Structure formats: C-alpha cells, structure tokens
Amino acid sequence: MATKLNVNLAPSGKNDLILQNPVMPASGTFSWGLEFAKHFDITLLGAIVSKGVTILPRSGNSQPRAVETPGGMLNSIGLQNVGVEKIIKEFAPQWAKLDLPVIVNIAGDTEEEFIELAETLGDIDGIDALELNISCPNVDSGLEFGQDINGAASVTRAAVRHSEVPVIVKLTPNVSDTRSIAKACEAEGAAAICAINTVLGMAIDSATGKPVFKRGAGGLSGPAIKPIALRNVYEVSSAVQIPVIGCGGITNGMDAIEFLMAGATAIQVGTASFSNPTATLDILSELTKWFNENNIKDVSDIIGCAQQ
C-alpha cells in the first residue's frame, strides 16, 4: 500500500492549502516554476514557489552576485524580478492551468508595500498562497521586519488581513531566537512558518583584498547550513501549532526525512536545484522509496517524531 503523502499547510485558516506531497522548491531557486517544466513534470511536486516579487520590477544587485563556498554558496541577488504587474498579466494565467498549488513569495520595503502586494496578489486566480519574505539579507530594507518581533507580527497581521489566500511567513536565522518571532506571526494569523532563509556570510577576493560582493555580506545556502536549519525547524515546530516548512541545505531524500522528523510538515529544496535541475523530483522519489521500505503508511506518522 502506497504511503499517504498529502499534507495541509493551512489547517487552521479559512482556506486549506493541500499539497499532494511535502516536496517543493525554495523561493529564488526555481525561477517562476514554468522554466523547470522543460526538465520534468513539475505537477508531480507538492507545490511550486516563485521568486520574490516586489511591486515594481527590480534589476537586482550588481555583479558578481554568487560565489561557491565549501559546502554551499553565497548569493547577493537582490530580489531581481519582473514586478507585480507582469506577474498578474503573464505568469498567473499560466499558473492557473497547473494542477498544483502556487505559492508566491512577496517582498516589500515597508508595511504599506506588503499590504499592497497582499491585496493585489492575494485574490488572483493561479495564486494559492503568499510567502512573506521578511528575511532576505541582500536588500537594504525589509529584513528588519524579520529580526524584530513587533515588526514581524505587524507585517504578518497586515498581510493576513488583506489577503484572501493563506499567508506563510519565511523566517531569518540571523536572530537569537526564531521561536518567539514564529509565535508572534502565528498569533497574527500566519497559516504556516517557513524556516529558514539564508545565513549571513562573506567571501573575500584575495586578489583585490576586498569583499566579493559590493554589499559585503551575502546569504549562505546549501549543505553547510543544514544543521542550522534543522535546529530552527526543531525548535520552531515545538513552539507553534501551525505547520512548519523546513528549508536549508536539503540535497537528498534522507535530508528531507530528517526535517520531517524534526517537525516539518513539508520541505523546500533550494541550492540543490542549481547543480541538479531535477533535485526536487529526485528527493521526492527517494522520500517515497524510504517510506515504502520502512512501511510508513502516512507521512504524518513521522512528522515531529524526533521531538522530545
């Protein structure tokens, strides 16, 4: 008997967010989702997650914007995107034809911008949920919302009140305690928590003696941050009652199993997709094989089993 894989990321909200399985890409690593359809059937995944969307188009930070590191990569993309108008006119109609949920990551410099994005995109056919990006380390403003309990709560409350679809809040690990911020977001109506975004890091160009990125620091992702992400998921999932999405350094099926055992209801695959475009599908396949080999009847049977 096949394992029951479907999960609900918004069980306490007015609208369910049901995924046929717990595997999806992480924002910023899967473009707009449609490009990967050239490599495999993306409707086999639990959901797709868009790049970060801002009100106006952004060209992003200057080059270089990515550099490899031992066990991962640093990036300083700067939320390059096409802007909300093109999302509505070009991408949403294509997403509406897909037989899987689409989660749109939104980023604003102010609470008012988050409200505008939530109002504009939170009632569009083809968009099933919003992911609040209050944790991107590669822009000048917006990150402070994710580093402050009151700021995170206020933006979450505003987005939830102005959106017709579930709101997921993506947390930064660059704080002393993600649990208190997660609880504040839960109290304001967040449907789920995504933990975590990238970890602040830096690379120096030895030839010039200067930071590789003009901004100095960038966001570290990949296998190097898996232990950090896993700890955050473990702690946050024990602190809140809403679902937690695990993200950070997942490269294979066993990584995904660990995150589910730590308390994640679903997982996101990020940097792995850069070197292997079918990483999400491969991880889903490995996950399914492990479930069958271990006679797991329902994915929920292992979610949080590592919690003491």
Q: Please, are residues 236 and 185 in contact by the beta-carbon 8 Å criterion?
A: no
Q: Two tokens at 158? A: 């505003």
Query: What is the pLDDT of the chain when averaged over all its residues?
Result: 93
Which residues have a catalytic role annotated? 136
pLDDT tens sequence across 56-68:
999 988 899 999 9
Query: Is residue 77 very low, low, confident or very high in pLDDT (cuts 50, 70, 90)?
Result: confident
Closest CA to 76 of 208, 171, 201, 194: 201
Count CB-CB contacts under 10 A for residue 1: 6
Q: Give the pLDDT of residue 61.
A: 87
Convert 185-203 into a string of H (helix), E (strand) and C (coil).
HHHCCCCEEEECCCEEECC
Residue with the bigger pLDDT between 302 and 147: it is 302
Domain ranges of the chain: 7-60+78-199+222-301
Identify whether the C-beta of residue 192 lies closer than 8 Å to the C-beta of residue 24.
Answer: no
For residue range 150-187, list pLDDT tens digits in order.
Answer: 999 999 999 999 999 999 999 999 998 999 999 999 99
Task: Compute the C-alpha angle 217/158/79, nearest 5°.
Answer: 30
Closest listed residue to residue 193, CA positions, set 226, 168, 215? 168
pLDDT confidence tier of residue 13, bands split at 50, 70 and 90: confident
On the question of pLDDT at 144 being above 70, the answer is no
In Å, how far are 30, 123, 249 from 35, measured between CA atoms?
8, 24, 22
pTM attached to this predicted model: 0.95
What one-letter code names the amino acid at 214? K
- Kindly provide the residue ranges of all beta strands, DSSP E only, lying in 161-239, ordered along the sequence: 167-171, 192-195, 199-201, 204-205, 210-211, 218-221
Inform me whether the pLDDT recorded for 43 exceeds 60: yes
Which of 137, 138, 80 has its CA nearest to residue 146? 137
CA distance 2 to 175: 40
What CATH architecture applies to the domain 7-60+78-199+222-301?
A: Alpha-Beta Barrel (3.20)
Question: Is the bond preceding 64 in cis, omega lying within 30 degrees of 0?
Answer: yes
